[in-house]
Chain A
Amino acid sequence: MLQEEAKAALEFVCYCARCGASLADPRNLVNLYSDTGRSICFWWCHACGAKGEAVEVDRVTAPHMAEE
């Protein structure tokens, strides 16, 4: 992933998934890292303490298809 793409991925998470508070304030953590080529946003909410990881889904796959 290019630097500009990584920066865009960093902005993927904007709000806490639990309380809905904005994560824009730097006292929240939004930290990007890569796992096997996928960009993952780790986030932690200063307002309610919730944390999680978010991945932008760009392709839907079903690796274990039912047998015909």
Chain B
Amino acid sequence: MLSKERNELLTQVGPGTPMGNLFRRYWLPIAAASELKDQWTKKVRLLGEDLVLYRDRRGKLGLIGDRCAHRGVSMTCGIPEHNGLRCPYHGWLYDGDGRCLEQPNEPDTSTFKDKVKIPGYKVQELGGLIFAYLGPEPAPLLPRYDLFVRKNVVRTIGYAVIPCNWLQIMENSLDPTHLEWLHGRYFQYVFEQNGRPQESWPISRHHQKIGFDVFEYGIIKRRVLEGQTEDCEDWVVGHPVVFPNMLRVGDYGAHSFQIRVPMDDTHTYHIWYTCFVPNEGVQVPEDYPISLYEAPLKDERGNFVTDYIDGQDMMSWVTQGEIADRTTERLGTSDKGIILYRQLLLQELAKVERGEDPMCVIRDEAKNDVIVLPQEENKYGVGDLLSGIAKDWNTRYALNIDEIIQICKGRMSQTV
């Protein structure tokens, strides 16, 4: 249980809020690179700001405020030009810094354009994602976390706009025991309703022990399930919550990031970024495309889609309310990871207030060649558990999931 004021401080991310200031110290993913292949603009809502991501005629990406300073028309409807984006209404042209370069109907001698500026932010592309930085200069390096730069893997990118606050989504990742219920017993209940055998489902074992350690890049989560001992990988290695908004999870065959990007206080852009790892000796076809797909929250009748792992997670996040009311929550000992995460958020927020860089702001090039994160591979002692059930989690919505599985098993390397 928290006070109302503390809950507000932890959840609000708009301009000028403490948590918004913390998030503005990080590069945040806002789109898949492939989204700007077939279209010139994408409307983006990020940390309470309405923005437009665009590609100019030179192929350069830009991220500027969505409203033209002139009469407020959406720049998402704008015309891409050689050096910026032009408002469709009266032709005002802006560059990637948000500076107004042209006002075609003003006198040639006018200096009015020099006084007009809309927000403009830095963008960079890495690993098939486009990242934005909204914070103070100098911008830090875009962290090269291992999955973004790993070679010889097949990547997929899933996404969803989730109508709730980012914090309740992140807190799910500090709550290991929900695994045995939400993705175990509840999943078996869904199987029961769908007429699918329940007995073979491998993730409903009881947690014997959970643990959390703060490390250089966030918090490592550990667990020991019934039948395991403390020398299992789930305990010895574990997997991290990368500060402030990313979960790393996986097994032998699939390594994944779940990235939670606050759009505003009540909406979160969620990315499931997965690298499928081929079997030993198998070479993934060069330039194999990165699939992009939406993971549905609800079906056409408005019911939550709960017959896959991530749909179950989303149901749990959204039904807590737009912003979870932590003044009425009743935490127990199994929630200590959540409390540790809240403390880490406030601790790093204090660093920002003191003018220091918070955790995971990288400025050392030498450190940023590849940032290798720890992650158990022999998941729950089953080995390829997650990749083995690729059709029971979000990747089932990748149109080429069957092909990906075949490629990774080495059965399609000659034909693709």
Q: Which positions in A face B, CB cutoff 8 Å?
A: 3, 6-7, 10, 26-36, 42, 44, 46, 49, 51
A35: which of B2, B18, B332 is its contact (CB, 8 Å)?
B332
Give 24 CB contacts A-B under 8 Å: A6-B330, A7-B327, A10-B2, A10-B3, A26-B5, A26-B6, A26-B8, A26-B9, A27-B9, A27-B346, A27-B349, A28-B346, A29-B339, A30-B2, A30-B6, A31-B342, A32-B2, A33-B331, A33-B336, A34-B330, A34-B331, A35-B333, A42-B339, A42-B343
Place the interface of chain B in its size category. 20 to 34
Contact with A along B311-327 (1 / 0, CB 8 A): 00000000000000001
What's the least CB distance linking B219 to chain A, in Å? 15
B347: which of A3, A6, A31, A49 is its contact (CB, 8 Å)?
A49
Evaluate contact between A33 and B333: CB separation under 8 angstroms.
yes
B331: which of A26, A32, A51 is its contact (CB, 8 Å)?
A32
Evaluate contact between B342 and A3: CB separation under 8 angstroms.
no
Evaluate contact between B1 and A32: CB separation under 8 angstroms.
yes
* New contact pairs (18) apart from A7-B327, A10-B2, A31-B331, CB-CB < 8 Å: A3-B328, A26-B8, A27-B9, A27-B18, A29-B342, A31-B1, A31-B343, A32-B1, A33-B332, A33-B336, A33-B339, A34-B330, A34-B333, A36-B333, A42-B343, A44-B347, A49-B347, A51-B343
Nearest opposing residue in chain B for A11, CB measure: B3
Q: How far is the CA of A34 from the CA of B210 in the complex (A)?
A: 17
Contact with A along B3-18 (1 / 0, CB 8 A): 1011011000000001
What's the least CB distance linking B207 to chain A, in Å? 16
Residue B335 is within 8 A (CB to CB) of chain A in the complex? yes
Enumerate chain B residues within 8 angstroms of A26, measured Cβ to Cβ.
3, 5-6, 8-9
Nearest opposing residue in chain B for A27, CB measure: B346
What's the least CB distance linking B67 to chain A, in Å? 32
List 6 A-B pairs, minimum CB-CB distance, nearest first: A33-B331, A32-B1, A26-B5, A26-B6, A26-B9, A44-B343
The residues in B between 35 and 76 inclusive whose CB is less than 8 angstroms from any CB of A are none
Nearest opposing residue in chain B for A35, CB measure: B333
Nearest opposing residue in chain A for B8, CB measure: A26
A33: which of B5, B18, B335 is its contact (CB, 8 Å)?
B335
Residue B350 is within 8 A (CB to CB) of chain A in the complex? yes
Q: How far is the CA of A32 from the CA of B349 in the complex (A)?
A: 21
